[in-house]
Amino acid sequence: MRRGRRIAVDVGDARIGVASCDPDGVLATPVETVPGRDVPAAHRRLRQIVAEYEPIEVVVGLPRSLSGREGPAATKVRAFAREMAKGIAPVPVRLVDERMTTVTATHGLRASGVKAKKGRSVIDQAAAVVILQNALESERVSGRPPGEGVEAII
């Protein structure tokens, strides 16, 4: 397992959840929810977060259907990740499968007593935490960085 902090990003149309982990890759925690409707502003804020946290990589959740197919949402996320990779180079960006992360995050929040209305403001952060935990576990098991790398096309 590589040592170093990672950042996870759960990209949505309205909001972008952000999570980070400790340098040992043990515990993923929520960072913030970035408004997603103004994409240039969202990229600016994400670049600030990356500069502040100095991660060894950023993992972005790639939405796929349960069958593994990629639809329009995945196309949008791939474009978002390419733009992000360009803006934070040389920090690598990796796409990781995010199937069921929002469902898992929602169930966890409900189980801990978070109400639906309040939950909307933190659900994206919780999903980013799940994405990061899954990515860390994947690396621990395989010994390789999770998911697929994103080229920073300049």
* pTM for the predicted model, two decimal places: 0.87
Indicate whether 64 belongs to any domain.
yes
Task: Give the tens place of pLDDT for each residue, 74-115.
Answer: 999 999 999 999 999 999 999 998 865 555 656 565 666 666
Indicate whether 153 belongs to any domain.
no
Tell me, what CATH number does 50's domain have?
Answer: 3.30.420.140
Neighbours of 135 (CB within 10 A): 26
Nearest-angstrom CA–CA distance, 93 and 34 = 18
Indicate whether 55 belongs to any domain.
yes
Indicate whether 151 belongs to any domain.
no
Query: What pLDDT is stored for residue 64 in this prediction?
Result: 84
Helix, strand, or coil (residue 132) = helix
Task: Give the tens place of pLDDT for each residue, 109-148.
Answer: 566 666 655 566 688 888 899 999 999 999 999 999 999 9
Indicate whether 12 belongs to any domain.
yes
Note down the domain range covering 65. Answer: 6-140
Indicate whether 154 belongs to any domain.
no
How many domains is the chain partitioned into structurally?
1
Q: What is the percentage of the chain residues whose pLDDT exceeds 90?
A: 69
